[in-house]
Each structure stands twice: as structure tokens, then as C-alpha cells.
Amino acid sequence: MNSYLLKNASLYRNQKFENTDILIIDGKIKEIAPDIQTDICTYDLKGKMVSHNFIDIHTHLREPGFEHKETIATGSLSALYGGYGTIVAMANTFPCMDDIETIQDFQKRVEKDAYVNVYTYSAITKDLKGQELVDMAHIVEEDIVLGFSDDGKGVQSDEMMELAMQLASNIDSIIVAHCEDESELHGGSIHDGKYAKEHHLIGINSASEYQQVARDLGIVKIYKNRYHVCHISTKETVELLRQAKEDGLPVSGEVSPHHLILTEENIKDCHPNYKMNPPLRSIEDHAALIRGLNDHTIKVIATDHAPHAREEKERPIQDAPFGIIGIQHAFPLLYTYLVKKNLVSLETILDALTIGPAHVLRLKGTVDIGDVANLCIVDLDKEFEIKETDIQSKSINTPFIGVRCQGQIVANIMNGKLVEVGGF
């Protein structure tokens, strides 16, 4: 059962590629070596890339409460098709993931419906209101909880965030911070830049992000707590994180595929599928994100997969909700727009999808003999068009429909079981 041989793989492990065979027996990696001979089921990969399957530490599954947007089943199926083996759900559900009862109910739903390994964050504050901390000491004991995040809202109170970080330090957990100073927002919908001015839209300035990052990093200096910045979008945030890491603080940060690929200048027709939070920024910000990824200031790519129902995203851009889906096509888009254009190496992209997020949340992100097989297989030469009919998510809110990509996920090996998702 779950025994097979992957022949002629281009395996990425230990930060390099090797041409090899991979023998999997009873779901575990038994041997990695050239020219393995066996009479069990064999897949000739003919040089296709194999990697540890990807880890997304920022996914909105919407369940419970917003199943019209996404469910655990549809969101995790999108992840499976995207080459992901582990995802971490955000806490902004209804009811909010802010107590043990709700979290345990979520775990039961995951055990019933999930196609990949699913964890969650607990909220930092009850109902994401920023007024009262959750019972962090007891919630962290739940195996499915990997940290604390009020993603969707920044914690506005300096005192509340300091108390949360102090408690996180005491229990050796992590604060995963959505950094957004609401006093700087003014009802904006896109970046406060050229496109907003040309189209008479209220802009969202960069200070709304980096001011909270600066505040939080000041607190980290006191408590030395584990701290992670969500969806970095500004050059100032990159520099703040770079300096904090140089100072030896236990901090990390993530960037989303859409911020690595698009800028405000890519927005078309004020379409709400270009509206996300934080917004698409300037060319200068984009360049800083690329530099931050290349010099390993940013070691995580996280999708911020944010489904919304069609009718919600059909409103004018200023009225539509923030967010786009992204988990199913993250890798091919990154490969097409960054690797193929020689902006970022394939090795850097793969590290940011595997060992980077694994290190932040203390998960497994390497390929080793004796492990349960969690691998994805990618045909880097295969081109395809992103079509609405192929999307596994319940929602279709993405600006990338109709885009031609290279780098098709053809199979995902989840806990030893090989699932064909793109066809060999």
C-alpha cells in the first residue's frame, strides 16, 4: 500500500538539485539513489522536478461562518492542486477562532474534510476587537494551533500588543502580525500613489503598515518573543525587518505572490480583483521586496489566499472587499514571473515555500530518508492557461484568469499517497 518508485526525478533537497530515483514503501521514503531497481509500481518522471510539498502559513479557509466564500474542503483542495501539503488557516472566521471550543470544532471539520494537513492560528484578541486577550496559555496546548494572529486587523493598542508579546514569550509561541495602523487608512482602497490620484480614489499610505511594524519590533527588543510580519508590501518594512534580523531578534516576515509579481501600475480598469490588503504598491516597493527575498531578509512566501463570492467582488473597487485567491497557482506564477525572468532563483522560491515557513512555525520542510513522503512533482516545461473552470476554490477572485503560466503541478504526494492533479 502506497509503495512505488519515482524514477529520473530532479529532486530538490539540501538546497540543491540532484538527478535521482526515490523509493517509497508504505508511504515512507525508503531510499534516494540513482538507478534503483524494483518491480513495484514505477513512475518515470523524465526529469520533472520533485520538492517537499509547499507550506502556506497564511490561508483564509472561511469556515466556519463564511462557507459561501470557501470551505475547508474547497480551500484545501485548491492547496492540493497547488502543490501544497500543509496550510495554516487564519482566525477571522465566525465564530472567531478565539476559544478552545471553536478551535476543537474546527479540528473535527479538518479531520473530516481536509485534503492536506491543516493547522490554524488562534486570534490574539477576542473576536479580533483588540480589547481583550484570548486565553493564550491554554489555547496553545491545542495541537492544531501554531500561533496567534488577528489577521484582517492590526492590534491598535500598544499596551495590548505588548501584553500579547509578553505572554507569547512566556509560552514560547509566535505572534503573526497583520500590521495596519487604522488611523492612517481614511477609507482607502488601493495604494496612495499614481493610480489612485489618476482615478480619484482614496489611497492607503505606506505608513499604515510600517509604523505598526516599527512599534512591534520595539516590543520584540524587550521580550525577545517570536514574531512574524504578515504580507510585507513596503520598502520601509523590508528595511525594518532587515535591521531587526541584523540585531539578532527572533523575527521573520512573509511576502505574498501578488506583491512579488504586480504593482499599482498593473491595475486595470479599477477592477476589484486588484484590490487586496495591503494594496499593490509602487515599483520601488516591489523592487525592495525582490531584494528582500533575494538577500533572505524575507524567507517566506505565503499566499494570503482570500476567497470572496463573485457578487461581493463585482462591486466598484472602493466598495468591494479586500483580497484575492492564490494558493492553486502560486508556484507557476512565481516561476513564470520571477524565475523565468531571472529576478529570483528557483532555489530561493522553493526555500521560501518549504524550509522558510517550516522554520518559522517549527514544522518539517525537508526531504529525508525515513520520512513520510510529502512531495510535489512539477513539470517546469509545461505551459498552461489559468482558466476559471479549472479553479478548485469556491471563489474566482483573481486577476490572473487568462494568464499563461509555465510550471504545472502534476502530482502531490500527501502523507505517502500520490494524487495526480495535473497529469503526467
Tens digits of residue pLDDT in 126-138: 999 999 999 999 9
Is residue 393 domain-resident? Answer: no
Residues 9 and 118 in one domain: no
Residues 156 and 211 in one domain: yes
The per-residue pLDDT for range 144-180, each reduced to its tens digit, is 999 999 999 999 999 999 999 999 999 999 999 999 9
Is residue 256 domain-resident? Answer: yes
Count: domains in the chain: 2
304 annotated to a ligand binding site: yes
Q: pLDDT at position 348, please?
A: 98
Residues 69 and 157 in one domain: yes
Residues 41 and 181 in one domain: no
The per-residue pLDDT for range 268-325, each reduced to its tens digit, is 999 999 999 999 999 999 999 999 999 999 999 999 999 999 999 999 999 999 999 9
130 annotated to a ligand binding site: no
Residues 75 and 40 in one domain: no
Catalytic-residue membership of 304: yes
Residues 416 and 311 in one domain: no
Residues 66 and 13 in one domain: no
Q: pLDDT at position 422, please?
A: 87
Residues 314 and 288 in one domain: yes
pLDDT at residue 1 is higher than 80: no
Q: How confident is the model at residue 18 (pLDDT cuts 50, 70, 90)?
A: very high
Tell me which residue range forms the domain holding 418.
1-51+366-376+407-424
What's the burial of 244, exposed, middle or buried (CB within 10 Å: 0-12/13-18/19+)? buried
**C-alpha distances out from residue 344 to 239, 240, 254, 289, 336, Å:** 19, 22, 15, 11, 11
397 annotated to a ligand binding site: no
Chain centre to alpha carbon of residue 218: 25
Catalytic annotation, pick one of 98, 192, 304, 379: 304
151 annotated to a ligand binding site: yes
390 annotated to a ligand binding site: no
Residues 71 and 44 in one domain: no
CA–CA dist 160, 175 (Å, integer) = 12
Q: How confident is the model at residue 64 (pLDDT cuts 50, 70, 90)?
A: very high
277 annotated to a ligand binding site: yes
pTM of the model: 0.98
Q: pLDDT at position 33, please?
A: 98
Residues 324 and 413 in one domain: no
Residues 79 and 25 in one domain: no
CATH no. for residue 1? 2.30.40.10
Residues 61 and 8 in one domain: no
